[in-house]
Each structure stands twice: as C-alpha cells, then as structure tokens.
Amino acid sequence: MENLTLTSQDQKLAHLKEQLINYREKVLGYPISSDFNFSELYPFLEFSINNIGDPFEDCNYKVQTTNLEREVISFFAELFNADPNDYWGYITNGGSENNLCGLHIARKLYPNAIVYYADAAHYSVPKSIDILNMKSCVIATTFSGEMDYADLEDKLFANKDNPAVFSLNFGTTMTEAKDNVAQAKKIIEKCGVKETYIHIDGALSGSFGAFIEPRIPFDFSDGIDSICLSAHKFLGSPMPAGVFITKKSIRDKILRPMEVIDSYDSTVTGSRNGHTPLFLWYNMKKMGVEGLKQRYFDCLEVTNYCVAQLNKIGVECWVNTGGITVFFRETSVALKKKWQLATVEGITHILCMPNVTKQHIDAFIADLVLDKQLEFVN
C-alpha cells in the first residue's frame, strides 16, 4: 500500500471532493437526488450501527436503529395502501437487493413457479432469477417500455398449470414505463392461473406513485404481494438505500429463527447498515407526505419545461404517464460523457430529479444546439 504523508492524504481528499462536486453538478442521466443536508446526523457516524435480524422483532444487539426503520416502513406501507395489520418490510442496500428479496420470498412460496418479467426490467431481475435458479419467461414491451399484455397472455396461457410469479415494473430504467397491475390480473384470471405472486419494482416511481394522475394500479389495494423502491433516488441519501415491503402474513410463512441474535433471519443480508434508516427517517420526517408530494410536482414542472425546450429546437421526445424521465433519440458521445447520460438501444434520457433545475436544462439545451451545429458543419 502507498505510504502517504498527512499532506498527500489531505491533497487526495481535497482533490476527490472537488471531483465529486464537479461531477454532481452534471448528472442528468441517472436517478440520483443530491439536494440534501444531513449535517445534523454527522455525530452518529461515530457509532457502528448494525440492524441485524428482523426489524420488527427484538434482538440481543442493541446498537441499532430498527425503531426508526419500522417508522420508515410504516410510512411507505400507508402510502402503498397496505393493510395496517398485515405488512412487513425492511431497509435494504438498494434496488438489486429489493428485487432479490421479492423473488426469494416468491420462490419459498412456489418453488416450481415461472417468473414473468418484461424485457425492459432492471438487470437485477434476471440476475436474481439466475441466483435463485428459477424458471423464467421474458415478455416483450412496447416502444414506451410497458409490458406487451398480448405477449404476456400468450406465454402465461401456455404455462397456465404452473404457479406464476410476476416481476412488474413501476418505472423502467430508461423510459419510466409502468406495467398495469389491473391489466395483468385480468390476464391471470382469463388464463385460469391459481397460484400467483406479484412483485412491483418501483425503484424510482414508487416514491411518488401515490400522487400520479391519472392513477395507475400498482399497490396493495390492487392485489400485489410485495413492492420496493430505491430510496437514494427520489428521496435522497448519501448511500444507496432501498425500501422493501410485503405482507406480514407472507413473511410469517418463511421465518427462520437465529439463536445467536435471538431474532429471525428474515432479510437477505442479515447484517444491515443501521445508518441508512436514520438518514431515511430524518428525510421522511422533514418532508412528510405533503412535502414528498410537492417534491414530485416540482419535478413535473421541470419535466414539462425540458420537453418544451427540446421541442423548441426540433428534438422529438417522449414522457410516460406521470413520469419525470424525458427520453429521445441517442445524442453524441461528447454530450453523453459531459452530462453523464445513459443510452440503451439508441434511446437517451434525462431524469428531472429534485436537484435538476431549469438552469441545468438550459445549459444542456445550449450544448445540444452547439453539438448539432458542429455536426452539420462536419
């Protein structure tokens, strides 16, 4: 290991901070919120906080924040119309663990089930299916990224005698498309499938799904079994974080006691970052439901502005219902690098996150206009 003097360490840290500040100001292509200030929580960094075991059960290890974790889960359980007497969940390290947890529970309930998921699903879905050694069936999507329900019906009917697990999107990675739970349930009933489990991946859009109009069926009142969101995306967090919620009655079927901690092993990772619930709880308490709702409406305003500015310079773009993701045809490599834009199969997008302002959009539009002029000259 490099033997650093204190001076060189300071220089490296100062350089790293400068880099992070510069890069943070030009993130338009990834769902990250950076408009937070958690300075009041810095004193808690002196503690090794480990939320081991089930957050809804007591544990021998007491340097933890499971009481705050339960409050965060309760906040979102209510937002997702969960039965007040039948919900359970925990704070994960992000979307990939969320989806692994949902599919793991489904596999415990239905070991021989087939997982149906759209080809626009997050990459963690097929990865989790591989880890869990589950059978699966990929469903086609429309241009918008929403599941093709005719394809779902054809493939589900062909396997109607098998238990079916559905990993549905409530906001896909590239276009923020949303699969309609009510439509999926109609197909399930039509095909006569009796044993089912419906998991909702609401990584970005789950945080504000309750405020979208017109409403898109996606929560427990629509008949789902589990749902998740990535808390570092819309809410904001200094570290990746996720929220996973299912029914307590489902969790109770797969509980496994762990004598060493005098609790239950009901989470994917066992030991979990206890600082994350603290940050999410702090954010949640500051915002409340109304603050979260206004945060979403502010993003919609910037989204509409972005669409208008792109249209003004002749760039065709699209936004799915209730979305804050504006997607359009692929732009230049130089612009993608400068603004950290993701591109998949010829589609680039801008995510109008809470920290993205109209000034950011203006700066990007100016670069895009200049880029098109240079392209025309060349």
Query: What phi and psi values does residue 281 have, to the nearest 5 degrees?
Result: -60, -45
pLDDT (tens digit, 9 = 90+) per residue, 223-242? Answer: 999 999 999 999 999 999 99
Separation between Cα atoms, residue 8 and residue 251, nearest integer Å = 51
The yes-or-no verdict on residue 261 having pLDDT over 90 is no
Q: Is the model's pLDDT at 299 over the cut of 90? A: yes
- Is a pLDDT exceeding 60 seen at residue 131? yes
Q: Is 306 helix (H, G, I), strand (E, B) or coil?
A: helix
The predicted model scores a pTM of: 0.95
Q: At what angle do helices 149-158 and 181-191 cross, to 10 degrees?
A: 30
Per-residue burial over 65-102, b if 16 or more Cβ lie within 10 Å, else e, is bbebbbebbbbbbebbebeeeebbbbbbbbbbbbbbbb
Is residue 158 very low, low, confident or very high in pLDDT (cuts 50, 70, 90)? very high
- Cα 177 off chain centre by: 13
Average pLDDT over residues 78-91: 98
Q: How confident is the model at residue 264 (pLDDT cuts 50, 70, 90)?
A: confident
pLDDT of 59 reads 83
Tell me, what's the pLDDT at 1?
47
| Stretch 177-206: mean pLDDT | 98
Per-residue pLDDT, 262: 61
- CATH code: domain 42-285 is 3.40.640.10
Determine how many CB atoms are found less than 10 A away from the CB of residue 112: 10
Residue 311 backbone dihedrals phi, psi, to 5 degrees: -65, -35
CA angle 104, 188, 204 (to 5 degrees): 55
55-69, pLDDT tens digit by residue? Answer: 998 888 899 999 999
Whether the per-residue pLDDT at 3 is higher than 60: the answer is no
The whole-chain average pLDDT of the chain stands at 94
Residue 58 is predicted with a pLDDT of: 85
With tokens 């612009």, the residue in question is 335
The ranges assigned to domains in the chain are: 42-285
7 confidence band (pLDDT: 50, 70, 90): confident
Q: What is the mean pLDDT of residues 72-77?
A: 98
Q: How confident is the model at residue 266 (pLDDT cuts 50, 70, 90)?
A: confident
Checking if the pLDDT of 107 tops 50, the result is yes
Mean pLDDT of 158-163: 97
Answer yes or no: are the C-beta atoms of 320 and 175 closer than 8 Å: yes
Cα–Cα distances (Å) from 236 to 282, 314, 354, in that order, read 11, 33, 9
Please say if the pLDDT value at position 259 is more than 90.
no
Higher local confidence (pLDDT), 376 or 29: 29
- Whether 152 and 136 have beta carbons less than 8 Å apart is answered as no
pLDDT of 377 strictly over 80: no
